Amino acid sequence: MNNAGRRSLAILVLSFCAFAVLVQAQAPEEYQQRRQAVRLKMEPNSVLILRSSERIGESPFRQENSLYYLTGINDPDTFLILFAAAAGEQQRGPSGSARPNEILFWSPPGSGAGGAQKPPEKPGFETLRRPAEFQTYFERILLSAAPVIYLDYQHSRNLNGPLTADEDLLRRARDRGAPFVVKPTAVLIDPLRRIKSAAEIEILKTAAAITVEALKEAMRSTDPGLYEYQIQSIIEHVFSFNGALRPGFSTIVGSGPNSCVLHWSENTRLTKDGDLAVLDVGAEYQMYTADITRTIPVNGIFTQRQRNIYEVVLQANRAAIDMVAPGVDMRDINNRVNDILSQGLIKLGLIRDVSGLRQYYTHGLSHPIGLQVHDVGGLGQLETGMVITIEPGLYLPEESLGIRIEDDVLVTGNGHTVISSGVPKTINGIEDLMKQDPSLDFRRYLIKGPGK
């Protein structure tokens, strides 16, 4: 490896080391506190059941979000049962004996499909059982006297189709006189996920830092004549090198007319001189995902028309972020952004009044991020510990000109912190970065094949 290659690799290695020291794994006690918080919200004598995601083919397994939130376990064949406190008397389990507060059905990787005869201890869990025991225990719970069962289950797609396995099981339990009502687990868990803990915030900061580095490398590497998927590959290379083994959502590299397609992810177009490209990307790190968007000129220089539209979006982005603080209602921030975008479009002669805004601004301003890119819990009035996006945009399909600027913002006790601030978003900042040489010359790996 030559000296330049060593320097480039060193940059990425140092980035990884910097990210690694930022993150402290969530402690078993934190998961335990979350489970206790859920139990306190459950109706008396009710039961909550969470089941792991199904493994899809040979793809890397990813746990169901709520189960991970309460356990920190990313293994298949994992099941959790929580029991609510009884109303004024000791609870009894399905077998008639006093039941625990919680049961985890789990076997660590390498212990065999059915789990070890005695599962190894996992700190923070009251009772451990083998995964093979779950189904029998589940069916006994359905036949118990639990008045409410919090359960997410697969529904049939139409009235004339066959019942799903879950629906059939619930029907057979009710046919035997079981009195339970089924409620979704989201009513208990989603409000808790809305506010991020200190450990979750550090993980999200790391996901954002990795995404920032990926966007900066993409900016340095982009030139006319690259395919969108080649820019995508640069972004995802930086992700995986830094321990973010998958994107939190399909990477969006939309150039030219595709910059106006909100969820473009085919990334098949050849970029051209004069194009803008919307890069909407997010690294998933330790199950949590960032979500950052930058819009760049493919040739490194904004045209005057592009500058005019870009400055309107940037003004809206900055004004919205400035308003983020505990107690602020997102409706007020939305109204401010709508006013800025409308006035900008009026000055540019694109609309006559605010009623024309939605012709060019076709999505929402914000959403929470966390275990999923559009995380649960909603927005409404902002609270300390929320992590949200701010992403105004304007789209002119008739000019193949789309612009979106998206930042990740932590609501703090006295205002906010922009955790995506490391990647430039001013016109001068973007143009200056795009003049720099990339850390690695990815073109050296290009193989010319048929059709290229």
- Per-residue pLDDT of 55-108, as tens digits, reads 877 788 999 999 999 999 999 999 999 999 876 555 444 544 466 899 999 987
pLDDT band for position 18 (cuts 50, 70, 90)? very low
- Residue 21 counted as domain residue: no
Please tell me the least confidently modeled range out of 57-61, 199-203, 292-296.
57-61
Q: Give residue 441's pLDDT.
A: 84
Average pLDDT over residues 255-281: 97
Structural domain ending residue among the three candidates 192, 211, 227: 192
Q: Is residue 140 part of a domain?
A: yes
121 in a structural domain: yes
Q: Answer for the pair 259, 269: CB distance below 8 angstroms, yes or no.
A: no
The per-residue pLDDT for 122 is 55
What integer best gives the mean pLDDT of the chain? 89
Same-domain check for residues 239 and 163: no
According to DSSP, the residues that pair with 278 across neighbouring strands are: 254, 295
* 64, 55 contact by CB (below 8 A): no
240 and 181 in a common domain: no
Question: Between the CA of residue 437 and those of 130, 187, 442, 447, what are the distances in Å?
Answer: 54, 50, 12, 21
Same domain, 150 and 97: yes
- Least confident interval from 28-32, 335-339, 408-412, 431-435: 28-32
Better-scored residue on pLDDT, 25 or 78: 78
Rounded to the nearest 10°, the torsion over CA 266, 404, 244, 119 is: -90
Which residue among 151, 168, 192 closes a domain? 192
50-57 mean pLDDT: 87
Check whether 256 has a pLDDT greater than 60. Answer: yes
> Does some domain include residue 1?
no
pLDDT of residue 144: 87
- Does residue 6 belong to any structural domain of this protein? no
**Pick from 98, 73, 75: which is nearest to 85 by CA?**
98
Cα–Cα distance for residue pair 319/334, rounded to 1 Å: 10
101 burial class (0-12, 13-18, 19+ CB within 10 angstroms)? middle
* Domain boundaries, position 233: 197-445
Q: What is the CATH number of the domain that holds 261?
A: 3.90.230.10
pLDDT, mean of residues 173-183: 92
Predicted confidence at residue 11, as pLDDT, reads 45
Q: Look at residue 77 and give its three-state secondary structure.
A: coil
Residue 307 forms part of a structural domain: yes
Of 369 and 440, the structure prediction assigns the larger pLDDT to 369
- Residue written as tokens 């990795």? 210
Q: Is there a single domain that holds both residue 229 and residue 185?
A: no
pLDDT score for 294: 98
Are 236 and 285 members of one domain?
Answer: yes
In a domain, 22, yes or no: no
Q: Is residue 82 part of a domain?
A: yes
- Give pLDDT, residue 110: 61
Q: Indicate if 241 and 268 belong to the same structural domain.
A: yes
83 and 127 share one domain? yes
* Same structural domain, 244 and 319: yes
Q: In angstroms, what CA-CA distances link 102 with 20, 38, 47, 190?
A: 33, 11, 10, 19
Q: Among the three residues 192, 226, 241, which one is the final residue of a domain in this structure?
A: 192
CATH number for 121: 3.40.350.10
Number of domains in the chain: 2
Within 13 A of 330's CA, how many CA atoms are on the CB side? 18
Rounded mean pLDDT, 201-207: 97
Give the C-alpha distances (Å, rounded to integers) separating 362 from 338, 346, 358, 396, 404.
11, 17, 6, 11, 11
What is the model's pLDDT at position 452?
62
State yes or no: pLDDT of 1 exceeds 50: no
376 and 283 inside one domain: yes
CA atoms within 13 A on the CB side of 56: 6
In whole angstroms, give the CA distance from residue 410 to residue 407: 10
CA-closest candidate to residue 254, choices 295, 305, 221, 309: 295
pLDDT in tens, 221-246: 999 999 999 999 999 999 999 999 99
The proportion of the chain whose per-residue pLDDT surpasses 70, expressed as a percent, equals 88
What is residue 296's three-state secondary structure?
A: strand
Task: State how far the Cα of 131 lies from the Cα of 407, in Å rounded to an integer.
Answer: 41
Higher pLDDT, 447 or 328: 328
Mean local confidence (pLDDT), 24-34: 86
Based on the fold, state whether residues 181 and 204 are members of the same structural domain. Answer: no
Q: What is the pLDDT of residue 448?
A: 81
Q: Are residues 230 and 292 in the same domain?
A: yes
Same domain, 122 and 264: no
Q: Range with the lowest mean pLDDT among 19-28, 40-49, 81-90, 184-193?
A: 19-28
Decide if 407 contacts 318 (C-beta within 8 A): no
pLDDT (average), residues 130-151 = 93
- pLDDT for the residue numbered 10: 41
